[in-house]
């Protein structure tokens, strides 16, 4: 099992048709510069370009290179916080109210965006199953469903027989079904969003890492190895990869890096399975995740591949482990996969926050960042792109779904980042004990 991402293997036609992005070469002027060609940055560019704003996107690699093009591709609404009560405890009520409704509508928002721009990314709004790993998890899910219903959520609790029929496994005795959820091919989506932005007049430059960011008059100068841009506003859309930017003489980006914890989810995928075996897995086409601390998530593809993901462990040297555990977990949950091989494996890097909520961070006047999706970024990152576009276009901060805050350093960040090993061991033990109840 080599490090090969199934999305790259199944989007070769789209990648080849798009070709590599041009590098920034020479001097240019734009109203807004977006740093990061993933879902957040591309959504911001689309929403700005739709308003006639001159905007360019810069990336150190190419479109969708980071977590966006390697994501699980599950379009899951809802925030990682369990209930609205938790949300209201974390921020002022007006923001909590708006964020609750925006997050619940995030899947519909993305599928509408895909339709509006005619993006071909294997999109299907077939629903999201969140399987309960224990009686306690079911009880909490029932309470959460009732509370989210006050904000318009439609979450159905499925019983054992229906859960087994929908999932293809008897591992779980119940699940929460959110009909608005669904699936996309994440790399095709990123490429399609970039093409939509370009059709609207945005420019995208790949292989153009930002090396310096300097104030200049009432705006900013953004420097890459071969060019520089003058602009009035800068959007950071680097999420879990924020720490990889060389800020040169600018201290802004390390402050952003220190406000998040990077994490490395891992995924594995099969080759196309035979029809009978494939039809036994998620036969109605929903995506699935579960309620364990060591979460799993899975999906079946139109070509009958099966994709399974979970939490990886990142070593000090950057290497990711967890693939062997993932194979065992897939075979335990779906016993029909016991003889299947997994020729694809890959990882990305997401951003966790202390509150488990996304963050809207002002690094300096005219420099804004949106990040921290805590594993729910496919839908919410596109919403964040619109929020960022609104902000740089002058929408009052008090009207946004998130408060605009200065960056806040996570205490003992490195200890937390590289202390995941003991947490993972304890989490697995607790999940196992609860599942036996």
Q: What is the pLDDT of residues 375-411, one digit of tens each?
A: 999 999 999 999 999 999 999 999 999 999 998 887 7
Give the mean pLDDT of 10-23.
Answer: 95
Q: Is 56 helix (H, G, I), strand (E, B) or coil?
A: strand
Q: How many percent of the chain have pLDDT more than 90?
A: 80
Give the mean pLDDT of 290-309.
Answer: 96
How many domains would you assign to the chain?
1
Q: In this model, does residue 122 exceed pLDDT 60?
A: yes
Q: How many percent of the chain have pLDDT more than 70?
A: 92
Q: In this model, does residue 419 exceed pLDDT 70?
A: no
What's the CA gap between 265 and 156, in Å, rounded? 27
Q: In this model, does residue 6 exceed pLDDT 60?
A: yes
> Which comes out higher in pLDDT, residue 247 or 370?
370
Sorting pLDDT into bands at 50, 70 and 90, what band is 318?
A: low
* pLDDT at residue 249, rounded to an integer: 46
pTM of this prediction?
0.94
* pLDDT at residue 104, rounded to an integer: 97
What single DSSP character describes residue 152? Answer: T
Residue 330 to residues 97, 115, 309, 390: CA-CA distances in angstroms? 38, 33, 9, 42
Give me the chain's average pLDDT, please.
Answer: 92
The bridge status of strand 350-352 relative to strand 367-371 is unpaired
* pLDDT at residue 148, rounded to an integer: 96
* pLDDT at residue 264, rounded to an integer: 83
pLDDT tens digits, one per residue of 163-198: 999 999 999 999 999 999 999 999 999 999 999 999
> Which comes out higher in pLDDT, residue 320 or 280?
280
Residue 184 to residues 101, 108, 160, 357: CA-CA distances in angstroms? 22, 13, 28, 23
Angle between helices 106-116 and 377-392 (to 10 degrees): 80
* pLDDT at residue 238, rounded to an integer: 94
pLDDT tens digits, one per residue of 232-276: 999 999 998 886 555 444 556 677 888 888 888 999 999 999 999
We report the CATH number of the domain holding residue 257 as: 3.50.50.60
Residue 225 to residues 36, 204, 206: CA-CA distances in angstroms? 16, 16, 12
Residue 343 to residues 47, 90, 305, 314, 330: CA-CA distances in angstroms? 38, 42, 11, 21, 14
What single DSSP character describes residue 399? Answer: G
HSE, CB side, 13 Å, CA atoms: give it for residue 282.
27
C-beta separation of 260 from 145 below 8 A: no
* Alpha helices, DSSP H, located in 154-235: 160-167, 186-199
Structural domain range at position 70? 2-435
pLDDT tens digits, one per residue of 45-85: 999 999 999 999 999 999 999 999 999 999 999 898 889 99
Q: In this model, does residue 415 exceed pLDDT 50?
A: yes
């Amino acid at each position: 099992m080599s490090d090969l991402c199934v999305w790259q293997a199944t989007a070769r036609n789209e990648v080849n048709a798009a070709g590599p992005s041009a590098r920034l070469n020479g001097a240019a002027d734009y109203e807004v510069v977006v740093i990061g060609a993933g879902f957040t940055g591309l959504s911001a560019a689309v929403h700005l370009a739709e308003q006639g704003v001159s905007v360019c996107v810069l990336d150190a690699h190419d479109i969708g290179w980071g977590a966006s093009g390697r994501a699980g591709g599950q379009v899951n609404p809802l925030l990682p916080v369990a209930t609205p009560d938790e949300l209201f405890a974390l921020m002022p009520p007006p923001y909590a109210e708006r964020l609750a409704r925006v997050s619940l509508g995030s899947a519909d928002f993305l599928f509408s965006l895909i339709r509006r721009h005619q993006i071909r990314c294997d999109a299907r709004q077939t629903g999201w199953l969140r399987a309960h790993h224990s009686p306690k998890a079911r009880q909490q899910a029932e309470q959460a469903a009732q509370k989210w219903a006050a904000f318009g959520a439609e979450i159905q609790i499925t019983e054992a027989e229906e859960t087994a029929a929908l999932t293809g496994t008897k591992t779980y005795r119940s699940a929460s079904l959110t009909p608005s959820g669904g699936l996309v091919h994440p790399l095709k989506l990123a490429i399609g969003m970039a093409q939509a932005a370009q059709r609207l007049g945005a420019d995208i430059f790949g292989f153009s890492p930002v090396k310096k960011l300097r104030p200049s008059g009432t705006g900013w100068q953004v420097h890459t190895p071969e060019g520089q841009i003058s602009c009035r506003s800068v959007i950071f859309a680097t999420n879990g990869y924020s720490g990889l930017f060389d800020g040169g003489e600018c201290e802004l980006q390390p402050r952003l890096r220190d406000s998040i914890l990077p994490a490395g989810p891992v995924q594995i995928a099969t080759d196309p399975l035979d029809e009978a075996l494939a039809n036994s897995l998620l036969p109605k086409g929903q995506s699935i995740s579960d309620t364990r601390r060591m979460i799993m998530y899975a999906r079946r593809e139109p070509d009958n591949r099966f994709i399974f993901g979970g939490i990886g462990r990142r070593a000090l040297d950057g290497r990711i482990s967890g693939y062997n555990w993932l194979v065992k977990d897939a075979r335990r949950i779906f016993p029909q996969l016991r003889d299947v091989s997994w020729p694809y494996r890959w990882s990305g890097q997401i951003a966790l926050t202390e509150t488990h909520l996304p963050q809207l961070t002002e690094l300096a006047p005219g420099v804004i960042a949106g990040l921290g999706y805590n594993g729910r970024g496919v839908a919410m990152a596109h919403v964040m792109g619109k929020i960022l576009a609104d902000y740089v276009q002058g929408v009052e901060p008090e009207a946004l779904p998130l408060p605009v805050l200065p960056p806040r350093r996570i205490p003992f960040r490195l200890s937390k980042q590289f202390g995941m090993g003991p947490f993972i061991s304890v989490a697995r033990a607790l999940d196992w004990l609860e599942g036996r109840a």
